[in-house]
Structure 1
Amino acid sequence: MKELMSETTTVSPTPRRPFAAVAVHLTAFHAASWWNWRNSNLGRLVEPLIYFAFLCTSLRGVVTVEGGGDSYLRFSYVGMLGYVSLRVGIATLVDVANDRKWGVYAIARMDGRSAGAYLASLVAANLVLMAIQAAALLGLLALFAPTQVTPSVWSVTALALAGSVFWSMTGAVLAFGVSSYSRRDLISTLSLLPLALTAPIFYPTDVMPPVVRAMAYVNPLTYELDALRSALNGSSNVAATAAFLLATASMAALLSFVARRSPLVSGEVS
């Protein structure tokens, strides 16, 4: 009996699993979760398509951009790509907050999955959805303004997908500071519309009121859209690109800091 009592059991920590394999496995998990909630997520899928098909086509004769006429649909197509990438950030905020509340994130971490692999899987899952939306938007652009579909449109679409990584990291940073669903919903509401409406999504900055224009200059989405539109026109906006890349690098550093120091689960219990 004494020998049995003196015996100690050593529990080995779960070994860290390969990053790529974990990211792929968790991406499939997020995709399955999205499919389970497909009716709720349908609105997010079609929202930018409705904006483009109805709002942007209506503004074509009201908002004047360089080139005139159908050039506005080309302008607003890039704007909707930016809006969709912003939506990726909101989706990441919701996903991370949910996973921290219900212990999914904690289970993944304790099972040897790194925070980086978990976040990479979220980015990958959201990029798949964004790619579907971008393809549908491109189809609408070809339908309403076929002359505006040029080879540069394809490369800009790919750049927009890459740009959404910044917004995904931003959503994750915010989610690690969220302790309740009510706060999550408040942040989502107070960030989506102000960021969208103070960026040149539907109209250029030079037609904005002075106060809104000043807000646009501190909105990262403005610099993302400026860089994308410059690429669309075959030029490069070095200042806008540099500003957005700097914001992306800063957000990556902040996310790394926050992910290492945040509790695995949120404080919400109901």
Structure 2
Amino acid sequence: MTENTDNAPFDPALGAIEPHAGTLTAPPDGQQLYKIMTIENLLRSVSGGYLYFNRVDSYKDFRNADGHDGEQLQQDRAANEAAKFERAPDFSGADYYDRCRNRTYACCFSLENSDYIWHEYGNGSAHGKVGIAFDFAKLRAVINEIMSVRNGLLYRGNACKQIFSVNYGIVDYLSWEEVRENIDRMPNPIRYTYVKDKSYADERELRISLSAIGMGHFVLADGTKMEFAPGLELGFDYRKAMTDGTITEVFPGPGCDLDFLRDELGKLGIKAVDGAA
């Protein structure tokens, strides 16, 4: 049973469903999303029942990762540092953006099943890589339903209030070192989550973000201050997704050990999909 919160007071520390939809560009219904994974990561995700989200300031798990992912633009930082909070003069706008970045996570997909994403992602596996195609509209609905549960977040095994807001958007590619966006006003932190340097434009990335407010601290019932881990696992049922059309295709990539993939997925109760999984 879920709690009726229709008349509950607004709590700015709690997360929301797509609060920045009006400022982000989402693809239309019917859009396919593509994700390249090592076979090992796919099997871990299926058996663990999760979609993995990286904290945006900790992308180091693949070559050519963007060290500036989610970071305030280089030309914005000086003005952000000069902006101070009236009630916290030692805490600048730049500090605020850095803290927001430290509390923001992303799960990344491509709008295109391109040679580029096959070359760049899912490397280093003993058994090869696979591609997974998702129906964007169905994936969005599934995640929004999961995120609407107020106590859906587990932290060290304890149920917590839902502090993350979920958003969906196509990444905007620009010159990270040259562009300035805080000339007239300081941008919402979500803007920095959805811009990357133009050198990454071939990714054609659709990003799902989970972000917590960048002010103050989150404290557990026992007084422990919450730390934001480098990664989050959001509950996701791959078996159900493969039967209801949220996942539309699983297909082998270069060097894929197809027999191993079929055998291991079979042990997890998943039969052949398009001859690959």
Same fold (TM over 0.5): no
Structure with higher Rg: it is: 1
- If the length of structure 1 is used for normalisation, what is the TM-score? 0.28
Q: Which has the higher contact order (CA 8 A, sep 6+)?
A: 2
Considering fraction of residues, name the structure with more helix.
1
- If the length of structure 2 is used for normalisation, what is the TM-score? 0.27
Considering fraction of residues, name the structure with more strand.
2
